[in-house]
């Protein structure tokens, strides 16, 4: 009789699941009311939790916002990504580009930018948190990948950080601008998205491939 291999299923600890639930409620309220006008009491009430429970998971509203942005950045270039696995540049950059485009076209990324623009004057630390945990973290991860790929002989990037900025800009700048001014471009099909990202990858590799 053949031995049946049991699947390993990761059980999400109760505390971790509750933390994720609280973060989702906070994001919904931030988008609805803005960061400055959303209070920890509002988040706790909406989540049907006590303030003590909320503060046990998050020390402040800023800590909650950091969690949200870090989660978005992990979707783009986190530990499970092709970048982290050191896959070949064409594959790693294509996956990265698609993740960025999906984040933008779903509206999640642009909505968070609107929070920053609306509330930066009342919550001056917000923009710094957003950049450090979001775009800044992604830039660091892409820079580290390009540096390592250059050391492996797969690419030639004398200035990996500059190269990372050029690639990220090539992928998102057009769509990002439209989202920031509240005028999103016409919906993009999966095929069009793939074509756009592939063109950016090929343009990048035409200059930086060894």
Write down the pLDDT at residue 31.
83
pLDDT tops 50 at residue 7: no
3-state DSSP assignment of residue 140? helix
Closest CA to 22 of 48, 59, 60, 52: 48
Contact in structure between 144 and 138 (CB atoms under 8 Å): no
* pLDDT tens-place string over residues 74-114: 888 888 899 999 999 999 999 999 999 888 877 655 567 77
Write down the pLDDT at residue 108.
57
* pLDDT tens-place string over residues 39-79: 999 999 999 999 999 999 999 999 999 888 888 888 888 88
* Summary mean pLDDT of the chain: 85
Interatomic CA distance for residues 154 and 89, integer angstroms: 7
Domains of the chain by range and CATH?
A: 13-59 (1.10.10.60), 62-208 (1.10.357.10)
Closest CA to 19 of 50, 63, 54: 54
Contact in structure between 128 and 119 (CB atoms under 8 Å): no
Alpha carbon dihedral 53, 58, 62, 65, in 10-degree steps, equals: -90
Write down the pLDDT at residue 210.
73
Write down the pLDDT at residue 4.
42
């Amino acid at each position: 009789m053949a031995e049946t291999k049991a699947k390993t299923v990761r059980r999400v600890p109760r505390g971790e699941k509750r933390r994720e639930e609280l973060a989702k409620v906070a994001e919904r309220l931030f988008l609805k009311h803005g960061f400055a006008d959303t209070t920890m009491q509002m988040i706790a009430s909406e989540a049907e939790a006590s303030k003590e429970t909320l503060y046990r998971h998050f020390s402040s509203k800023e800590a909650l916002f950091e969690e949200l942005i870090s989660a978005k950045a992990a979707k783009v270039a986190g530990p499970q990504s092709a970048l982290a696995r050191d896959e070949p540049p064409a594959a790693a950059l294509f996956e990265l580009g698609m993740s960025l485009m999906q984040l933008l076209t779903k509206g999640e990324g642009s909505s968070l930018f609107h929070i920053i623009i609306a509330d930066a004057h009342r919550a001056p630390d917000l923009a710094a948190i957003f950049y450090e945990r979001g775009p800044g973290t992604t830039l660091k991860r892409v820079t580290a990948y390009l540096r390592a790929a250059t050391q492996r002989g797969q690419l030639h990037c004398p200035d990996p950080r500059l190269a990372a900025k050029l690639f990220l800009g090539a992928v998102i700048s057009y769509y990002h601008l439209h989202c920031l001014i509240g005028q999103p471009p016409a919906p993009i099909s999966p095929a069009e998205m793939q074509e756009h990202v592939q063109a950016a990858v090929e343009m990048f590799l035409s200059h930086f491939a060894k």
